Amino acid sequence: MSGGVTPIGPVTLAGAHVRLEPLDLSKHWPGLLAIGLEPELWRFTASKCFDEGALRAYFETALEEQSRGVTVAFATTLAATGEVIGSTRFGNIVARHRRAEIGWTWLGLAHQRTRANTEAKYLMLRHAFESWGLMRVEFKTSSTNLKSQNAMRRLGLVEEGTFRKWMFNEDGTVRDTMWFSVVDDDWPTMKVRLEAMLAR
C-alpha cells in the first residue's frame, strides 16, 4: 500500500480486558489445546477441529498463510493474567485494495458472552483503519450461525447479503455464507459505538 501507512504484519494489540498476541505455537499451543477441542466451538465453522492433529493443522495453516502475507494470526489472552482464551485472525489480506477479513475467531466457552470478543474486534478494527489504513474490513459467517450473525449486527456491521452455496465445509456439507462489512467511512461512528459498549 502507498501513503506511508504501517506495513501489514504481526503486531500486539493490547486492551483493558484482552491482549492479542502474534500467534506463536511454542508459547500458545498448550493453552489453545486446553480449550480448543470443545465440539461446540466448531459446530458452524468451515474447519472441524475435533482432535489435536486437526487443531494443530488449523494453526499451522494460519502461520503458513502469514508467511505469505495474506493472514495475521493472534492468540487471544487475558490482559490481567496472560491466560490463553482463544484465537482470531486477519485473513484474505489484499494490501493493493486496502482490504482484509476478520474471522477465524473463537473463544473458550468460559469466556464467551464477555467483553473479550467486543474488545478484540475493537482493537483489530482500530488497528486496521487507523494504523494500516485499510478501506474495508469483511466478516463472513454461515447462514445457519444465528449467534454469530447477531453478534455482528450488535457490533454495528453492515449486512451485505448471502452467497448461496458458497463453499464446502471440511465435513463435506454445503455452506451458504453471509457477508458483513465495515468501511473506513463507517469507522468513526462504529468506534464511538464500540467504546460505549466497552464502557458499560
Q: Is residue 188 part of a domain?
A: yes
Contact in structure between 51 and 33 (CB atoms under 8 Å): no
CA-to-CA distance for 107 and 68, rounded, in angstroms? 26
CA-to-CA distance for 116 and 108, rounded, in angstroms? 11
Q: What are phi and psi of 169, to 5 degrees?
A: -75, 165
Q: What's the confidence (pLDDT) of residue 5?
A: 53
Alpha helices in 5-109 (DSSP H): 25-35, 52-67
pLDDT along the chain (200 residues), means of 10: 66 97 98 96 91 97 96 98 97 96 95 91 97 97 90 92 92 92 97 94
Q: Is residue 119 part of a domain?
A: yes
Q: Is residue 2 part of a domain?
A: no
Instruction: Name, in order, each residue with C-beta under 8 angstroms of 63's C-beta and a sequence gap of 6 or more.
Output: 23, 25, 73
Closest CA to 86 of 60, 52, 116: 116
Q: Please give the tally of structural domains in the chain.
A: 1
Q: What's the confidence (pLDDT) of residue 52?
A: 97
Nine cell digits for residue 93? 489480506
Q: Is the dihedral of CA 167, 126, 60, 116 positive or negative?
A: negative
Would you give the distance in Å from CA 41 to the centre of its chain?
14
Q: Is residue 176 part of a domain?
A: yes
Contact in structure between 116 and 74 (CB atoms under 8 Å): no
Beta strand 18-22 with 13-14 is antiparallel
Q: Is residue 40 part of a domain?
A: yes
Q: What's the confidence (pLDDT) of residue 3?
A: 47
68: exposed, middle or buried (C-beta count within 10 Å: 0-12, 13-18, 19+)? exposed
Q: Is residue 3 part of a domain?
A: no
The range of the structural domain enclosing residue 188 comes to: 13-199
Q: What's 70's domain CATH number?
A: 3.40.630.30
Q: Tell me the pTM.
A: 0.93
Q: Is residue 4 part of a domain?
A: no
